[in-house]
Every structure is written in structure tokens, then in C-alpha cells.
Amino acid sequence: MSQRRPSPRQPRQLLAALVAAATLWLAGPAALAAEPRLPKAVAQALARAQVPASAVTLLVVDANGQRPPRLSHRAGEAMNPASVMKLVTTYAALDVLGPDFLWKTNVTMDGRIQNGVLDGNMLVRGGGDPKLVVERLQALLLQVQASGVRAIHGDIVLDRSAFSEPATNAAEFDGEPLRPYNTQPDALLINFKTLVMTFTPDLAQGRALVRTEPPMAGVLIDDSVPLLPSAPCGDWRTDLRASVDSPSRVKFLGSYASACGERVWPSAYADPSSFAARAIEGSWKVLGGLLTGQVRDATAPELAMLRSNRGTLSGNTSPLRLESPSLPLLDIVRDVNKFSNNVMAQHLLLSLGLHAKLGQPQVGTFAASRAAAQAWWLKTLPASVSPVLDNGSGLSRSGRISARSLAAMLQHAANSPLAEALADSLPLVGVDGSMRERAKAATGRAQIKTGSLRDVSAVAGYAQGASGRRYIVIGIVNHPNASAARPALNSLIEWAAQDRQ
């Protein structure tokens, strides 16, 4: 389901819709005439979850903003939306940076190249690419080798200064530092700082083979685990008794049931600060490259020299330079919203700060990025209350937005040239992403972003009513029983889609 982009012949209708929307939200609660009671199925599901109506905000309103809401319950209350906050981050990024925006990872050979040998350092500068996965990293390194450099008599020096955020404890949010969703941003983010382990049963040898990506220099990883040929596949991760807490050793003390077939386990790495260096060195050597020095971060004096020498440490004015562009921002937005990727969302927000003033040296910080997002919101939606973004991913206890403000933004998006880009990035109900198994009665007729934290459950997006009208649907629960209230939010989506007015 896609929203057709407005044609150049629609400016009057578009302006009227936006003016109507702004008038609606400015008028406040008194103007939000709606059904006096919650839909029966929603109310019953909330009662079963033991969640009071006072812990919920619900809003169903036309996407064009020209009608009063069908349902408005506590729509002006600021709530924690969890990952639904990604809607704000992705729409701001699309609007400010543009759907074709690219991040750049640059490689510079700082030294003399002769007979396939670089006598000097190779500099790798991260530009904030949110999806520099193993395949793309190795494609870049193969490009280096194709340019004539197969051996480096020096170091590989990493410049990660495009983002400047102090290191934080990955366990700080929920005590789960090795969960990939807790990965922290990095201007040179390799494979989301995540080890991906694939377990494949080999009945003939009585073991499960373990394949790990990316190759990590200085990390010893067991390449197999004993196989249980007749055991059922239960809690297979626990059965492996994996030890992943050491930066230099990953081992499996348990076993793997053949009934599990092939399984994949992504795990955040125990020492995230060294992940890029280990992954780059491991990949360089796996591809046949030689390195006499080490892979290391640039020091503060070296970073200053890199800036003054326009990207080199030696002052070399004509070094060999290679560039790897990211996937287009539009593709990144789809990944962020379909799969609710936290670190990618944080990269989008940091990029707003990094590129807030094009042509001037900038550093991406959350403070600068929140200021840039706030300026965008005030310019784009001056009649609505701006959100508290925090890190832009929704993985936060302090993020806040009201259903009314979020709906105003979704209305703006629905009537903009970016309507299709945003809507098609959302999970399609009953089909994919986090909505694959939810709200089945609305299958194929709603595009919904979900959000979930401890004490938070939320949905927001678009639904096509049976009447042909298109609605914005928002439901947010902030309560200790929020997870049990998901059926209520499913019922809300189905109720919106079943409209026959």
C-alpha cells in the first residue's frame, strides 16, 4: 500500500489540507470532537491487560487533516513512544538530507606505492555510514588491492572523529551490554559492532560447524560444538553455554541439537571500541593483504594534522584516495523502520547535526543534532509541540511526544513529496517486519511502526479504511502492563481499517 505523491497541480488542495491540520491542532482538545468512548474491542483488551485508560493515549484521524478525529483519547499528553520515535528521526532525515543522501567512507594511501607495497600508512575515515556491513567493508578493501596496494609497510590508521560522543556503558540502559540493540554509534561503524555466528549441523562428523563474521584479528573462536543428533531443539542459545565476555576468546561449553537445523546468532562484541580495528585487520588479511604494523585509532595530534594536511599525516599533496559511498538514505530509512534498528536511527540523528551547516567543518553530537531536529520541527510544524528526542531511536526513558504532535507530523508527511518514502518504510500489517503477526484483520491495509520497552507499548502509522478514507493511527501505552496491552493496540488498528462510513 503506497500513498501517491502529490502532483504539481495539487498545491491548493495541499495547502488547504495543511492549513486545516494546523487549525485542528492549534485549537486544542476543545476542537477534537470524537467518539466519547473507546472502541469496544480496545476497551475490553485494555481491561484484560489491567491497563487503565489513564495510561493510554489513542488517536485516529484523517491523513488529510480535514475532518475531526474519529477517536481522540488523551491525545495531548506527552508519552514515551519507544521506537515509534524513529518516525520523527526518519522523516526529519528524509526532509533535511534528502532520500538520495549518501555517507562516505574514505581511504587514503599516505606514502609511496611501489610494486604493490605502500611504504606508509593507510588512513580510513568514517563518515557515519549506518550500514557498513562485512560485504561492503571487504568490497572497499578489495578496491584498495585492485588499486595496486597489497602490502602495507606501516599502520592502518582509523579516523572516527566525524561523530563525537563520549563512550557510554552498553549495559547502562537495561543491563544487557551484549544485545545488538544496545550498540552505540560510531563514525566507522562496522557490521553494527556485532559478531554474527552461524551454526550448521554436520551429522557425519557429529558436530555443528560455527561460521563467524566478520573475521576478527586477535580473537579465537571455536569453529564447532558437539552435536546432539536426537535431542529436540529447545532453548538452543542457552544449551550452547557460550562464553562471549572475553574480547579475545569466544567458546562454547555446551552442545547443539541437530533438530535446530541452521541457526544464526548475532551478538554484540565484548570490546566494542576495538571492533572496527579487529574487523578491518581480519578482513584485510583474509583477503590476502599484508600488514607490518597495526590497525589503530588516530591520536588527537594526528587528527589535528589530518585536518591541517587535508587528510594525510605526511603532508603528501597527491595521495591515492578511494571512496565508498553508503546505500542511499531512503534504503537506510527502510531498514530503520522495518526492523527498528536503534544504532542506525541514532546515526540518522547524528547526521542531522553533522550536516546542519553544509560547507563548514562539523562534528556529529547528540546535542547539536537535537538542536538541528528542533529547528526543523519548529520550521516545519510550528503549530505543534516538539518532541523530546533524546538519541532519536526511542531506546530511551526520557523520550516524549504527544499523539497530537506525532499525528501533525504524519499528516505533513502524507501530504508531502516524501509521503511514499516514509509510508513504504513502515512494516505492512500482517506481512512483514514487527507487524507480520499482528492485527491480522487489517492485513495489507495498514503501515505501522511499533515500539516496545519495559512499561511501553506503542503503534503509529497509516491505515486504509474500508470506506476508502486514509487514517493516521496512534496508540501509546505507558504502564507496567504495557506488553499485555498489545492486543488493544492491534484492535485499534483493525478498528480504524474496518471503517465503513
Q: Do 336 and 298 belong to one domain?
A: no
Mean pLDDT, contiguous 10-residue spans, the chain (501 residues): 41 43 43 64 97 97 91 97 98 97 96 95 96 98 97 97 78 68 91 96 96 97 95 94 93 96 93 96 98 96 84 82 97 97 96 74 84 95 95 95 98 97 97 93 96 97 95 98 98 92 57
Assigned domain for 133 exists: yes
- Whether residues 94 and 56 share a domain: the answer is yes
- Find the CATH number of the domain harbouring 66: 3.40.710.10
We report the CATH number of the domain holding residue 164 as: 3.50.80.20
In a domain, 4, yes or no: no
Q: Does residue 286 belong to any structural domain of this protein?
A: yes
- Domain ranges, residue 482: 11-100+330-497
Could you tell me if residue 364 is inside a domain?
yes
Asked whether residue 63 is assigned to any structural domain, the reply reads yes
Asked if 135 and 93 sit in the same domain, the reply is no
Together in a domain, 367 and 474: yes
1 occurs within a structural domain = no
- pLDDT at residue 36 in the model: 52
Instruction: Mark whether 255 and 283 lie in a shared domain.
Output: no
pLDDT on residue 306: 84
Q: Which three cell numbers stand for residue 415?
A: 501530504
In this structure, the answer to whether residues 309 and 359 fall within a common structural domain is: no
Task: Please give the pLDDT value at position 501.
Answer: 57
Residues 149 and 200 in one domain: no
Which residue has cell 507480520?
A: 436
Same domain, 321 and 337: no
In this prediction, residue 52 carries a pLDDT of 97
Same domain (yes/no): 189, 309:
no
Residues 312, 351, single domain; the answer is no
Q: Are strands 56-62 and 242-246 parallel, antiparallel or unpaired?
A: unpaired
**168's grid cell:** 557510554
- 3 lies in some domain: no
CA triplet 217, 219, 225: central angle to 5 degrees? 130
| Cell output for 125 | 575515515
Give yes or no: residues 448 and 413 share one domain.
yes
Residues near 468 by Cβ (< 8 Å), separated by ≥ 6?
A: none
Q: Please tell me the total count of domains within the chain.
A: 3
- 3-state class (DSSP) for residue 133: coil
Signed CA dihedral, 481, 483, 487, 488: sign only: positive
Whether residue 180 contacts residue 192, with contact meaning beta carbons closer than 8 Å, is answered with yes
Whether the predicted model's global pTM rises above the 0.75 cut:
yes
Tell whether 151 and 253 lie within a shared domain. Answer: no
- Please report the pLDDT score of residue 247 as a whole number: 94
Q: What is the pLDDT of residue 16?
A: 42
- With respect to residue 54, please indicate whether it lies within any of the assigned structural domains: yes
